[in-house]
Amino acid sequence: MTAMEQYPHDLIRFLSASPTAFHATAYTGSLLANRAFVRLYEQDDWGELGPGSYYVVRNDSSLVAFTLANGAAKCRALRMAGAHTDSPGLKVKPNAVHSTSGLVQLGVEIYGGALLAPWFDRDLSLAGRVLWRSSEGQVQAHLLDFCRPLLVVPSLAIHLDPEANKQRSINRQTDLVPILALDNMGHGEAFNFGALLLEQLGKQYGEHVDDAELLDFDLFLYDLQPPGLLGLHNEFICSARLDNLLSCHALVQALCETGQVGQTAQEKGRDILVVLNDHEEVGSASAAGAQGTFLKDVLARLFSPRQRQQIVSRSLFVSVDNAHALHPNFSGKYEPEHAPRMHGGPVIKMNANQRYASSGVSAAQFMLVCRQAQVPCQKFVMRNDLACGSTIGPLTATALGVATVDVGVPQLAMHSVRETAAWRDGYYLLKALKTFFAADDEQLAFPSARA
Ligand SMILES: [Zn+2]
């Protein structure tokens, strides 16, 4: 199998292992650890880091990984890239259980800008993080994943809403409460959600959680339909969370293939940094989000202020987040000259009002990277009569002062529970990122304009 043929299968494995941002972060950590990346902890003193590959995690949902080919002191420029680990969806409320109409339901909050209609009539499961305390008083966190059909949000039958196909709207509070069980299955006892979580904890982690007392949880619903290839030539990939786990996967894969010290990075003296941030879909303002201090704090620990500023001024940050591919049924929603085509390669996103951080300079740098990687690329601009989205690029550029380009693979149905992309675009992105990570310092340095 060629590297290109292998690519969609690796991506599918990454998507399947990552029903939540917590799982995406844990899986990424395991991939990096397999490649001899050393895990650092924010509460420890790192000293001065020598040559090596490292990663650090915050909130179990954000991660910074980096390779210092010759140690921190000798770093001159960083090939930096980032993406986000979270996706819009349904998050279980703290006091979730409703028992009405003979059914047990779980109240959910809507996380981010989810497209809500696709959540109806799906086989849903539950995954996330639970906090618990042992009988000795020790507090621990574990990831849970029920991995089985557990919940459903049924549609209202068309007979009860004859206008459904013309004007059905969705009430965010009342229409989306998933059903978990028949109420009378508990033999007279009230349903206990905490007991269900502890039972699952025991199933996944065995007897050492026997005495666990549940403290709290961060749990999300997810669609159980596995990611898959589709189309006459299997050219499409369909999955939940392509936005933005496709990008996380490409970054991690590119880092694993080029950033392992002892291989290419050290031979060539390449310093590389990848950041995966949680909370992009809710505005990034959190300790783990791109508006938080995570990346800044990591850089502050690696380099003195003076060295850091010099490094940042010689570096490029590639912010990777999926773009809107041209939808054939809605072509009027696109800027006619800037409508990204599937299989047209990574998209460079531009916005005059800085909703995307790309400039003529950073876009030119990325175009040269794509040319060198022998992959196509294209440009996106939002229509002037529609609001432009944003991503971690402008936030990171603002926080660090680093030259930034916003790019991403074109996809359809963004923020649906089932999204579609042409997987070769992901492979092109991976090739471009590997080329970028292997670039020499001179390639990153663009001259200032002459008057
Ligand atoms: Zn996104």
Cα distance between residue 104 and residue 102, in whole Å: 7
Question: Residue 268: its pLDDT value, please?
Answer: 66
Residue ranges per domain, the chain? Answer: 3-87+240-444, 89-223
Q: How far is the CA of 390 from the centre of ligand 1 (A)?
A: 8
The answer to whether residues 247 and 83 touch, using CB atoms and an 8 Å cutoff, is yes
Fold of 89-223: Aminopeptidase i, Domain 2 (2.30.250)
Q: Is 378 left (phi over 0), alpha (psi -120 to 50) or beta?
A: beta
Beta strand pairing call for 139-145 and 124-133: antiparallel
The answer to whether residues 39 and 55 touch, using CB atoms and an 8 Å cutoff, is yes
HEC per residue, 128-179: EEEEEECCCCCEEEEEEECCCCCEECCCCCHHHCCCHHHHCCCCCCCCCCCE
Question: Residue 185: its pLDDT value, please?
Answer: 78
Report the chain's C-alpha Rg in angstroms.
23
Beta strand pairing call for 103-111 and 179-182: antiparallel
**Encoded tokens for 97:** 């259980």
With CA atoms as reference, report the closest residue to 53 among 74, 73, 39, 41.
39
Q: How far is the CA of 322 from the centre of ligand 1 (A)?
A: 6
Q: How far is the CA of 17 from the centre of ligand 1 (A)?
A: 18
The Cβ-side half-sphere exposure at 326, using a 13 Å CA radius, reads 19
What CATH number has the domain spanning 3-87+240-444? 3.40.630.10
Cα distance between residue 126 and residue 426, in whole Å: 28
Q: Count the neighbouring beta carbons within 10 Å of the beta carbon of residue 445.
A: 14
Residue 90 parent element (H or E): strand 89-100
With CA atoms as reference, report the closest residue to 83 among 376, 318, 414.
318
Question: Residue 265: its pLDDT value, please?
Answer: 56
Question: Residue 267: its pLDDT value, please?
Answer: 61
Residue 29, helix vs strand vs coil? helix
**Encoded tokens for 76:** 């001159």
**Encoded tokens for 82:** 């980032």
Q: How far is the CA of 86 from the centre of ligand 1 (A)?
A: 8
Q: Block means of pLDDT (10 residues each) for the chain, length 451 residues?
A: 96 98 98 96 97 97 96 95 98 94 95 97 98 92 97 97 92 96 80 94 85 94 98 98 98 90 64 97 95 96 97 96 98 96 98 95 96 97 93 93 96 98 98 95 82 83
Q: How far is the CA of 87 from the centre of ligand 1 (A)?
A: 7
Question: Residue 405: its pLDDT value, please?
Answer: 97
Q: How far is the CA of 384 from the centre of ligand 1 (A)?
A: 21
Please give all residues whose CB falls under 5 A of ion ligand 1, grouped by chain where several chains appear.
243-244, 321
